[in-house]
Structure formats: structure tokens, C-alpha cells
Structure 1
Amino acid sequence: MKVVLVDDTHINLVLMSRLVDKLKDVSTISFQSAHEALAWCNAHPYDLLIVDYMMPDMNGLELIARLQAPPDQRPPVLMVTASVDVDVRHRALENGASDFLIKPIDKVEFLARTRNMLALRSATLGLQHRASWLAEEVAKATAELRAREQETIMLLCRASEYRDPETGAHIQRMAHYSRLIAEQLGLPEEQQQDVLNAAPMHDIGKVGTPDHILLKPGRLNPEEMVVMRQHADIGYNILKDCQARMLQLAAEIALTHHERYDGAGYPRGLAGEDIPLVGRIVAVADVFDALTSVRPYKSAWSMEDARQHLLDNCGGHFDPVCVDALLQRWDDVQAIRARFRDEPGAATDHG
């Protein structure tokens, strides 16, 4: 451990240095100038500062008051003084002094107090290292938990792909569009990532839709559409009891991404801001990509036509704020579209 000694009298520095050298694994650095000592302490790590009170250029009180580290974060300070003035001691304590020695220095007392201060410093460092280790372990555990959540999501999505013929590219695009909207709305980075990871499960409830409806190569009749629309409730019921935060968000998305801003959507007929924000975000992203994708019953719309559809339906189908957020990032939208292209063999989507 390193001890800094500050005293304007050379013989005092020599005496204190020799005493400290008797302690195991301790080295010293000495300064006769308080200004030099202050500059060094503010630029280097050390474990104990032993400083004289009465010095000509800067006294010990001024020195410890100008240390950059806050008193509760700096190494201990042992002040050496010939003064028995209680006011001096009070001011020293207020400035961060840990203990005192009265001149003339008693060798036994000096060594005992120095040893105690270094033991205190060692214990403090041990607690700091322990706290850092615990923080690292918590971060690792959290990362592992998030990885397991993401793995669960991917497995569920993969299971749904066996029944729902939507392309994987559609899932990727709408998820990235959703994150883009979340980012533009100013959501924190963690929430943006949650939206990206949970959005692909928006239609997980289609695993409960009969094949003759889900795979029908054309538009559904009204009776079939009633059955198809049950996928929002089915998806929510699949996910709602999961304790993982990500899956809770996915449940909310599954239930609400077919709600309309004007209240004419399903399954609950929610309107405006009664629809959770993630539901309003995914509604815009999902419909926009569905419009620009090929389906057996329709050709893909152009990007501009789909853009105009969003604008025409602001306040009706879509939350105007979410639409504006997507369109404000038009270059990024086009980049996502180019990055995740459909493979040959388009999908059916009756969502």
C-alpha cells in the first residue's frame, strides 16, 4: 500500500518515512510542498495521506479541502498537528480528516494509528471489489436470463412458422420497423430492444387457427374472419402467464396489435391511448410491411402507396404519432426493406 507524507520540515518526513517502512508491504512518497502533494494526490492512487497542519504555502486543512475525490470516496487522512484547538479538529473532520496525531509524534502511537488507517483502507477496498464482483455476477446472470428469454421467443416463433406461412423476412422487417418507431419516439434503449425481440410473436396465436382458414389461398369470408381474429386472444392466453418481462410484453403485443386508433379494431375495441403503446407501434409496422409484401390474393404495394395509406388512415386505423415516427425515418425504413428481402414463394396472411 502507498502512504503519502506531507510536511514542510525535512527531518519530520525522514522520521515518518522510517517509521512507515517498518510496516509490511507499505511504501511512502514524501512532499515538503503542499501544492506538489495536492497535484500528485489528485493524479495518482494512494492508500493513506499523512499531512501536517501548519505549513507555509498551504496548510493541511486547505490541502484536504482541495482534494478532488469526495470525502466519502477518498483514502483516509491522518492529520499531524501541534494545535489542540478544538475548532481546528472540527474543521479537519468536516474537510475529510479521519484521525489526528499531536506533535511531538509518539512512535508507538504513530505506527498504531497508521496501521489502523491502512487496515480501514484495506477493508474499504475489499468491500469495493466485492461490490464490483457482485455487480459483474448480476450482469452475467441478467444476460443469461435475457438470452434464455430470447431463446424461448425464437423457439415459439419457429413453432408458429410450421403453421403460419408468413415469411421470416416479414417477421424481421416488422420487428425492425417497430424498433425504429420506438427509437424515434424516444423510448430508452432497453425498451427499444424489448420491442424488437417481442414483436415477432405478434401472431403467435395463429397456432390455434384451423388449417382450412389459415392456409386458405384467398380472402376469408365473414365467418372465417371471425375465427381468424381469435388469434389475438389465443396468442395472449399462450403468453400471459409467463413471468419473463419479454414474454409479458409479447403477450401485450399479441392482444393489441389489431386494435385501431378509432376503436374499430379487435379483439377489445380499444381506442386511442387506451391501446398500449407497443400495440400501436406494432400495428403500424405490421400493416405497413403486409401492404408492401406479396400475398396470394394481392400484389405488393409500392413503398410510396403504403406510405400514403398510413397517412390516409392516421387517427383512424393508426396512431398518428407512431405513423409520423416511422415516416420521419424513411431512409432507415428503406434500408430495412432492402436488408430483409422475401425469399421466393410468398406467404399468405389473413391477419
Structure 2
Amino acid sequence: MNAGNDALNKPFILIVDDEFLQRLPMTEALGHGGFRVAEAENGAQAWELMQQETPDLVILDVVMPVMDGFELCRRIRREERFQHLPIVLATSLDDVASIERAYQIGVTDFITKPVNWGLLAYRVRYILRAARTSQSLAERELELLHTRMEIIRRLGQAAEYRDNETGMHIQRMSHISALLGRAVGLSSHDQELLLHAAPMHDVGKIGIPDSILLKPAKLTSDEFAVMKTHTTLGGQLLDHEPSTLLRTAHTIALTHHERWDGGGYPQGLRGEEIPLMGRLCSLADVFDALTSRRPYKPPWSVQRSVAEIQKGSGSAFEPNLVSAFIELLPEIQRIRESFPDQEPFYGDEIAEIASCGGSAR
């Protein structure tokens, strides 16, 4: 019983090679080196074995029938569960083209033919140790990134709650932003990125005084000047972050109050100088502000809000985005129904239609 458990605790190596005379000495060398070994004659057979048990490392040849080493490597790397699985290519030292191609599709390392059978186990053990160290570092970096993101998300939520918002505003505007992004050709990856970055658009409001943020009336010019700093405050908070998500959130926080005609803030960007993510969030943010209840007004009807968005086409908003927005109204309405306010929505995100040309605070 203990012997069986000991065998299962040994690192499991999968050898994939169509030549028996290559597999045999490799299996013997690794077996003597303290590894548990399985063999496959081609990539398809190896893939079947991997569905039954995940190996700790795969050693594969390049040229094989049915499925070659390159195709097996591509298939492995497409699976999330095999993301950190070490893949070692067995090839001749002068086969530079195969080595370069292998690295491009996700091979971890290579061993050269003819193989030094006496050193093979040491080489495999080193590759395993390096792969595990790399995986551990990647997991720690990911954990740190998630921690930073969670802190910033909570700051964004805190800003919304200070603004007396229930949180449904950021849900609606982020989904509407992603929907618009799909309509104008954003990739699935960028749509997902936008969906998760957009909720941080007003994180800078955490630094705006309550006397301004919670004022139930139109702001004075001096007060509005202070309110406008929430964009730069948000940009500063999200600046110098290494992740793509937080860099996108930085861009959105800094540019979602810019206008197509150059009359927005904080930089007065015009047209396509405004990053697309910011242009998408601007339209979605204003529309949701208009259709939501505020202390000074009941929610505007969808018809009236759409008319206001159309009025801002070419001035506040990019005309192409407005056209896409109109076509998507049925889906936008479904988003609004999916994230209803749970109670009267008393936010401070006043739509400065007259003085700001359609921007929300």
C-alpha cells in the first residue's frame, strides 16, 4: 500500500515519440532517476492519456504520425489547466528552425539529440524545479494584482456610496459600454477588459469634498471646477499600474468627461485624440445618469434621454457611437431591466446638459 502511494508521489513524466528505440532508454533513464513514466507514440495518443491524468512534464518529439509535436503543444497551451505544464522538446542541436517555432507556440525548454541518458534525469529535475518556481512566482504576482484591483474597486464603490449610489449605476454603464464596444468592433478580450475597467471610472470622487459631491443643486462654477478634478484624481490613483486592466481603468477615469468637439475636461481632447474606451464610457455614463432618479429630478424617459444623446452627436459624443447606440437600444433596455435600482436612486451625478454639453458630473 505504501509502495503504491510512493509511486503516485513520484513526478509523472509523459514521453511522446513514435520511435520505440528512443522511448525505451528514455523511460529506463527516468525510471531509474525516480520518476513515474508513461509513453505515447504520437500526439493524439498523448492527448488521450492527458485526459486521464495530468503529467508533471511532457517530453515530445517533433515529427510523428497522426499528430506531431507542434500540434500537441498548441492543443496543450489552449487549455487553461495546462497553462504552467512544462513541455520539453527533444530535437537535434542544429534544428534551429524547430526550436524557434517551438518556443513561439509554448515549449518550455528542449533537450538535444543524441540524448545523454546518464544526465537526463538531472536535466528533467532541474526543468521541473524551474517550472514550479516560475509558477509560484506567477501565482504570487497574480495574487498581488488581485489585491490591488480589489482595493481600487472598493475605493470606486466607496466613491459611489458617498455619492448615494446603490451600485447599479456602475453595473449598467459598464455593460452598456461593453455592448457599444462590441458594436464598434472591439475584440472579445477588449470587451471583457472594458466591462471590468469601466466600474472604476469615478474612483477619483473619493477625493471630492462632501459639500460638493452631495450638493442637491447645480454646482457653482468654483464648485464645478473642484468636481472636475475627480478625473485627474482617478488618473493619479490608477497611474503606474502594471496590469492591462488597471491601465485601461486609468485611461477611462482620465478621459470619460472629454467631448468629441474638444470642450470637455480635463485635457480638452478632441475627436479621436480621446481614447476609444473613454468615448464609449462617456456615452454610457451620461445615458444612465439621464435615465436615473436624482434629487432634483425624476428619471428622464428613455425617449427624452435618447433625444438628448442624439442632440450631443458631433459635439459631446462621437457620431458613429451615437448611431451604434440607437441601433442597440433594445439590448440597452434589457441591461437596464437586468440591473434595476433597488431603491430610489439619489445620486449626485447631475447631468450638466446646458453648461457641460451632456456630461454627467
TM-score (norm 1): 0.63
- Give the Cα–Cα distance (whole angstroms) in 1 for the partners of residues 145 and 26 of structure 2: 51
Deviation at 1:129, TM superposition (A): 5.4
Match in the other structure for 1:180:
179
Residues 171/22 of structure 1: CA separation in 2 closer, same or farther (3 Å cut): closer
Match in the other structure for 1:259:
258
Deviation at 1:337, TM superposition (A): 0.9
CA contact (8 A) 1:164 1:207 kept: no
- Give the Cα–Cα distance (whole angstroms) in 1 for the partners of residues 324 and 27 of structure 2: 67
**1:1-351 counterparts in 2 under 5 A?**
41=42, 43-45=44-46, 68-69=67-68, 116=115, 133=132, 136-137=135-136, 140-242=139-241, 244-347=243-346, 348-350=348-350, 351=361
CA contact (8 A) 1:4 1:48 kept: no
Q: Which runs of 5+ in 1 are unaligned?
A: 8-16, 27-38, 50-63, 78-92, 97-113
Q: Secondary structure at the match of 1:44?
A: helix
- Give the Cα–Cα distance (whole angstroms) in 2 for the partners of residues 237 and 281 of structure 1: 21
Q: Which runs of 5+ in 2 are unaligned?
A: 1-13, 33-39, 47-57, 71-86, 99-112, 351-360
Counterpart of 2:334 in structure 1: which amino acid?
A
- Give the Cα–Cα distance (whole angstroms) in 2 for the partners of residues 298 and 268 of structure 1: 30
Residues 44/121 of structure 1: CA separation in 2 closer, same or farther (3 Å cut): farther
Counterpart of 2:349 in structure 1: which amino acid?
D
CA contact (8 A) 1:48 1:117 kept: no
Q: Secondary structure at the match of 1:153?
A: helix
- Give the Cα–Cα distance (whole angstroms) in 2 for the partners of residues 126 and 218 of structure 1: 69
- Give the Cα–Cα distance (whole angstroms) in 2 for the partners of residues 20 and 290 of structure 1: 67
- Give the Cα–Cα distance (whole angstroms) in 1 for the partners of residues 206 and 27 of structure 2: 76
> Aligned residue pairs: how many?
283
Deviation at 1:322, TM superposition (A): 3.0
Q: Deviations over 1:248-276 (max 9, x none)?
A: 33332222111110111122221101112
| Identical aligned residues as a percent | 37
Deviation at 1:75, TM superposition (A): 5.9
CA contact (8 A) 2:156 2:206 kept: no
Range 256-265 or range 299-308, more displaced? 299-308
Match in the other structure for 1:52:
none
Deviation at 1:176, TM superposition (A): 1.8
- Give the Cα–Cα distance (whole angstroms) in 1 for the partners of residues 188 and 139 of structure 2: 19
Q: Secondary structure at the match of 2:190?
A: helix
TM-score (norm 2): 0.62
Match in the other structure for 1:14:
none
Residues 69/262 of structure 1: CA separation in 2 closer, same or farther (3 Å cut): same
Deviation at 1:234, TM superposition (A): 2.9
CA contact (8 A) 2:19 2:41 kept: no
Q: Secondary structure at the match of 2:258?
A: coil
Match in the other structure for 2:11:
none
Larger Rg: 1
Counterpart of 2:202 in structure 1: which amino acid?
D
Range 202-211 or range 274-283, more displaced? 202-211
Residues 138/331 of structure 1: CA separation in 2 closer, same or farther (3 Å cut): farther
CA contact (8 A) 2:42 2:68 kept: no
